[in-house]
Amino acid sequence: MKRIFSVLLCALMSVSLWAKAERHTVIFDVDIHCQNCIHKIEKNIAFEPGVKDLECDLEQKTVTVTFDPKKTSVEQLIEAFAKIRKPAKLHTDSAESSAQTDTDSENKDVDAQTGASTPQ
């Protein structure tokens, strides 16, 4: 029984490492005024398809979104912000230097306009 459990555990771990999704991180400038604005963003944007992580910064008025580019794009995320009446645009640092991608073995840049990845 212990052997079967060990084999299944090893198989599960190897599948989870193999299936690691490509992720892009983008910073948006968003009109955030208070904690209620942050709550509204977290309640809605965090559940958009492909969104893996979301961090709001009230002081900087930015929202950092990590997402799966196979399920969503920068344009779709901007539209999602517009739906909740929180206009968003790419943060000036993100637009200049493109967001970094977290992949298994290599980093790629995200094109600020299309959300497509380009090899470094």
The pLDDT tens digits for 51-103 are 999 999 999 999 999 999 999 999 999 999 999 999 999 987 755 444 444 44
Question: Tell me, what amino acid is at 84?
Answer: I
Please give the pLDDT value at position 11.
66
Please give the pLDDT value at position 19.
55
Q: What's 87's DSSP letter?
A: -
Please give the pLDDT value at position 92.
79
pTM: 0.61
Give me the residue spans of the domains in the chain: 21-119
Q: What is the pLDDT of residues 34-53, one digit of tens each?
A: 999 999 999 999 899 999 99
Q: Most distant CA pair in the chain: distance in Å?
A: 57
Beta bridge partners of 102: 23
CATH code 3.30.70.100 for 21-119: yes
Nearest of 114, 87, 111 to residue 99 by alpha carbon: 111
Residue 44 in tokens: 């809605």
Within 58-107, strands assigned E span 62-67, 88-90, 101-102
Q: How many C-beta atoms surround the C-beta of residue 110 within 10 A? A: 23
